[in-house]
A and B are shown apart, each in its own frame.
Chain A
């Protein structure tokens, strides 16, 4: 446990030291999305009855920030440590693969949740949002950030160069988040794309998270949470297996 605690604290301290880049920058990015999309679409798009588009958009932006920043934290920390070689500082001490897993995953989740909270706070002046179902909201934010923190770990361990990590991010993570209903409800899509969206686990994260605010969603939140939790479990087991084998870390 001591190893976990030290590694977890080190990961928190790492992003805290560059918080301008790791927290302030993504909050600003989300704010820009909000300003532009709400300006363009406020009058044209109505997803749920009585919910203005800006209000609909905010939970999506918050969750997108949570997910992207959780991924960014573990993936960039690991690739940097591997590229510079200082990963040996973590590999030489008696830290188990389980401690390694939980430290990187939870630190990434903390970063994701902190950025999400920041985005939520700066968007408050635009539309006052009530949180109808706080427990659902927290459940989706936490599992979502843990999933992306774990995915970031896999990407950071797999990638041998920065461009490989960028490819993972641009060709897998970005499409899955953008096509998950951050900016729209999948009910507005043609039937084919609606069906495709249902294979995207990110869709359930966003949809369930949005349910936390409005108490309305495209899919029942219990089903979404079950799917998200199953994804988390499968991914975690696969990652633990990877770490135990020493894949790309201990040759």
Chain B
């Protein structure tokens, strides 16, 4: 049994990178190896040029990981947890940055509350803050928005976006593909422990095999010669499959000849979810 096999991946400094894949694809295993929580049987992983096993100190200093599980230490308040975490990285006087982190993540009111008493969303914020106490150049977020409300999602992405603009490299895993599409410049898709797609978000979107055309017609009837293209039909709206936008002209001509007037026309853009499902189907 191999959780991962033949992964060859390089994320450039300053990238906003998405690691996508179904549950059990190996995303968290890959992150755990990167963070030194798991050990790979073979191969090597570097963070900012530091081997994560042999030079674990600089490698871990360069890395901040927001774990997927909602973990917390019930003995401490938010501020204590952040001070302790700073201490582990050798930062004895880190209060200015801790205050700033709490401010950006909306935690200031909760600074002296025990982490045990916080709501799930607040605990998630504390985890983000803990991962950032040492200002790591590389930040890994493992499904940070799973089960999180809209307000936190916005706070989080605003803050992470700012960090990315300031030069931090961001690696994100998520099942919300619209997040990855909006934020990430490059995407790797994993399935069964191997990389099945690795490209810029734009190229992946353009690679979508099928494009769609949505029409509302008057009369509400699709000419027979266009029936083979029909992929969906609901409430007087027909969705047709096209392989190339050049085919549009032919379709328009067919409609004209059949005496069908176009009431509404839409060319829905393929989103990352479509591409993701196509790629997962193929492998």
Q: Is chain B found bound to chain A in the same assembly?
A: yes
Q: Tell me which of A3-11, A42-50, A149-157 binds B.
A: A3-11
Whether the Cβ atoms of A89 and B61 lie closer than 8 Å is no
Instruction: Give Cα distance in the complex from A14 to B74, angstroms.
Output: 10
**0 or 1 for each of B34-49: is its CB under 8 Å from A? (1 = yes):** 0111110000000000
Complex Cα gap A94–B32 (Å):
15
The reply to whether A7 and B71 form a contact with Cβ atoms under 8 Å apart is no
Inter-chain contacts of B58 with A (CB < 8 A):
94
Given the interface pairs A84-B71, A89-B73, the reply to whether A6 lies near B37 with Cβ below 8 Å is no
Q: Which residue of A lies closest to B114 (CB)?
A: A17
Q: Are A89 and B74 in contact (CB under 8 A)?
A: no
Q: How far is the CA of A9 from the CA of B88 in the complex (A)?
A: 10
User: What residues of chain A lie closer than 8 Å to B76, measured between beta carbons?
Assistant: 13, 17
* CB-contacts of B45-78 with A (<8 A): 56-58, 60-61, 63, 65, 67, 69, 71-76
Q: Is the CB of A93 within 8 A of B89?
A: yes
B90 at the interface (CB under 8 A from A): yes
Q: Shortest CB–CB separation between residue B229 and chain A, in angstroms? A: 51
In the assembled complex, A40 has its CB within 8 A of some CB on chain B: no
Establish whether residues A13 and B73, one from each chain, have CB atoms under 8 Å apart when the complex forms: no
Q: Once the chains are docked, how many angstroms separate the CA of A89 from the CA of B69?
A: 12
User: Are B88 and A86 in contact (CB-based, < 8 A)?
Assistant: no
- Which among B37, B56, B74, B76 has the highest number of chain A CB atoms within 10 Å? B37
Q: A92-B35, A246-B39 are in contact. Are A86 and B71 (CB under 8 A)?
A: yes
A125 beta carbon closer than 8 Å to chain B: no
Count residues of chain B with CB under 8 A from any CB of chain A: 34
- Decide yes or no whether A171 CB sits under 8 A from chain B: no
A94 adjacent to B56 (CB under 8 Å): yes
Task: Say yes or no: B75 contacts A85, CB within 8 Å.
Answer: no
Nearest opposing residue in chain A for B71, CB measure: A85
In chain A, positions 197-211 with a C-beta closer than 8 Å to chain B are none
Given A13-B80, A251-B37: A93 in contact with B60 (beta carbons within 8 A): yes
Q: Is B265 part of the binding interface, using a Cβ–Cβ cutoff of 8 Å? A: no
Q: B39–A89 contact, CB under 8 A? A: no
**In the complex, what's the smallest C-beta–C-beta distance from A229 to chain B, in angstroms?**
31
Whether the pair B61, A94 counts as a contact (CB closer than 8 A) is: yes
B51 to chain A, nearest CB (A): 13
Contact assessment for A10 and B130 in the assembled complex, using a CB-CB cutoff below 8 Å = no
* Most-contacted residue by chain A among B71, B86, B130 (CB, 10 A): B71
Residues A86 and B73 in contact, CB atoms below 8 Å apart:
yes
Question: B261 at the A/B interface (Cβ < 8 Å)?
Answer: no
Q: Please measure, in the bound complex, the distance between the C-alpha atom of A97 and the C-alpha atom of B91, giving whole angstroms.
A: 19
* A90: Cβ under 8 A from any B Cβ: yes
Q: How far is the CA of A85 from the CA of B85 in the complex (A)?
A: 15
A89-B85, A93-B89 known; A84 and B39 CB under 8 Å? no
B87 on the A face (CB < 8 A)? yes
Asked if A95 CB lies within 8 Å of chain B CBs, one says: yes
A5 — which chain B residues lie within 8 A by C-beta? 87
**Closest residue to A84 on the B side, CB-wise?**
B71
B84 at the interface (CB under 8 A from A): yes
Measured CB to CB, the closest approach of chain B to A188, in angstroms, equals 44
Within 8 Å CB of A7, what residues of B?
Answer: 87-88
Which residue, of B39, B56, B89, has the highest number of chain A Cβ atoms within 10 A?
B89
Question: Which of these, A3, A81, A92, contacts B36 with CB under 8 Å?
Answer: A92
Q: Is A2 an interface residue (CB 8 A)?
A: yes
Does A238 sit within 8 A of B, measured CB to CB?
no
In the complex, residue of chain B having the shortest beta-carbon distance to the beta carbon of A5: B87
Interface: B262 (CB within 8 A): no
Q: Is A91 an interface residue (CB 8 A)?
A: yes
Chain B residues whose C-beta falls within 8 Å of the C-beta of A9 in the assembled complex: 84, 87
Nearest B-chain residue to A15, judged by Cβ: B75
Q: Which of B63, B71, B90, B134 contacts A88 (CB 8 A)?
A: B71
Please report the C-alpha to C-alpha distance between residue A17 and residue B74 in the assembled complex, in whole angstroms.
11
Q: How far is the CB of A78 from chain B (nearest CB, A)?
A: 13
Q: For B61, B63, B73, which residue has the most chain A Cβ atoms within 10 angstroms? A: B73
Assembly CA distance A85 to B123 (angstroms): 13
18 more A-B residue pairs beyond the given contacts A92-B63, A92-B65, A92-B131, with a C-beta to C-beta distance below 8 A:
A2-B92, A3-B87, A3-B88, A5-B87, A6-B84, A6-B86, A6-B87, A9-B87, A10-B84, A13-B76, A13-B80, A84-B74, A89-B71, A89-B130, A94-B57, A94-B89, A96-B57, A246-B39
A sample of 25 inter-chain contacts (CB < 8 A) reads: A2-B88, A2-B89, A2-B92, A3-B88, A6-B84, A9-B87, A10-B87, A17-B75, A81-B73, A84-B72, A85-B67, A86-B71, A88-B37, A88-B67, A89-B71, A91-B35, A91-B36, A91-B37, A93-B88, A94-B56, A94-B61, A250-B36, A250-B39, A251-B37, A251-B39
